[in-house]
Amino acid sequence: MPAKVEALGAAAALMGAFAERTGLGSGPPSSRRYLWTDAFAVCNLLGLARETGERRWAELALLLVDEVHRVLGRHRPDDVRTGWISGLGEREGASHPTRGGLRIGKPLPERRADEPFDERLEWERDGQYFHYLTKWMHALDQVSRATGEPRYNAWARELAAAAHAAFVRAEPASGARRMAWKLSTDLARPLVPSMGQHDPLDGLFTCLQLEAMAAELGTLETGPRLEAAVADFASLLAAVELRTADPLGLGGLLADAGRLAQLGHRADIDGGALLERLLEAARTGLSAVQAGHELRQSADRRLAFRELGLAIGLSAVELLSERTAASALARPRVREHVEALARHASLGSALVSFWSDPAHQASPTWPEHHDINAVMLATSLAPEGFLVLAQRPNG
């Protein structure tokens, strides 16, 4: 218990500092918003509210949702276009802030259609990433689960419908369905046309999560239905190689496996087979990571947020063990994989300890990505807000 209390206190300190630094505290609102970081931050704040019973954390989470929509749901200040990126008028746009997607929040404007592609610059350019959008859908759904208010789940489903319609496209030559990795702010053209390795997986589980919550809220018929998106993502996923030795991607696999275990069985998705596939890929990738040299390098040659993503995923293994023990998903191979993955729990603790060390935070790679590093360290210290699908309040 003392260790958990200490970790919770450290997470609270990190999130309090993040709130002040990015304009969620007592100062004026800021345009400093980044979709990935803010999605994890919303989940962290909700988790802190649940664990501490302090209402201020939940209030900050709701404020952050509004700020993300105000900033990233609208065109950049340096763009000739103005207003909501959905093209809706002010009042309707405020009622449906996710209908046109959400900008990433990168420092540079998106690449113009007549500009040549520059891989180095593209990392700093704005636009929309599918895997960032799914993180925000998850955060919005967690707000609905924590508060019982349907509008956040409805916004998440509107975002899912918009993202599915834009990112999943037919190839001109073959007609085969594929996903683009990055699109322009208006979702009209691909900026990076190749498909993200785990994007279909993120899309599938997120849509299943959103529909499950809408059904529980009794609002399934009042917003966009996602059956077509589920079918598309499941079809795309069948051909995807899930194995990866990238720490962040590997952590995402484990977190998604934890989500699947919580969502349980669906007649149209063979959850047991899919969970077995995810865990086998994660187990292979984890062996490759531990055999490699990346995690043995000095802090100035490592990226904290990528490694902390793995630590967060490893925290999901305990959840997997609990949720699959007496579940229809618990095939013999699933149990075997979970037991094998549990033996790597110390790696997650080691990564959190490494990046909690002030000496390692003094490395140039920490302040260069201060917000995302700090928020994901907070998630690693108190992962329940992100990993555990919140239970809707009674009534």
Cα 334–chain centre separation: 24
Task: Give the number of C-alpha atoms closer than 13 A to the C-alpha of residue 334, restricted to the C-beta side.
Answer: 24
Using alpha carbons, list the distances in angstroms from residue 46 to 269, 296, 387.
Answer: 30, 34, 12
- Cβ-based neighbours of 393, under 8 Å, separated by 6 or more: 146, 147, 148
What is the rounded CA–CA span in Å between residue 66 and residue 389? 21
DSSP class of 367: H
**Number of helices (H) and strands (E), helices first, in the chain?**
18, 5
pLDDT, residue 267, reads 58
> In one letter, which amino acid is 282?
A
pLDDT, residue 174, reads 81
| Contact indicator for 105, 34 with CB cutoff of 8 Å | yes
pLDDT, residue 152, reads 98
- Classified as helix, coil or strand, 187 is coil
pLDDT, residue 42, reads 98
Token pair listed for 130: 């599918």
pLDDT, residue 137, reads 98
| Residues 154-205 pLDDT 10s | 999 999 999 999 999 988 778 788 999 999 999 999 999 999 999 999 999 9
Nearest to 12 by CA among 60, 61, 48, 50: 48
For the chain, 395 residues long, give each residue's pLDDT as a single digit of tens: 468 889 999 999 999 999 999 999 766 667 789 999 999 999 999 999 999 999 999 999 999 999 999 999 999 999 999 999 999 999 999 999 999 999 999 999 999 999 999 999 999 999 999 999 999 999 999 999 999 999 999 999 999 999 999 999 988 778 788 999 999 999 999 999 999 999 999 999 999 999 999 999 999 999 899 999 999 999 999 999 999 999 999 999 999 999 999 988 665 677 888 999 999 999 999 999 999 999 999 999 999 999 999 999 999 999 898 887 767 677 788 889 999 999 998 999 999 999 999 999 999 999 999 999 999 999 999 999 999 998 877 64
Domain residue ranges in the chain: 73-112+125-240, 241-388
Using alpha carbons, list the distances in angstroms from residue 285 to 243, 288, 290, 367.
Answer: 6, 5, 9, 29
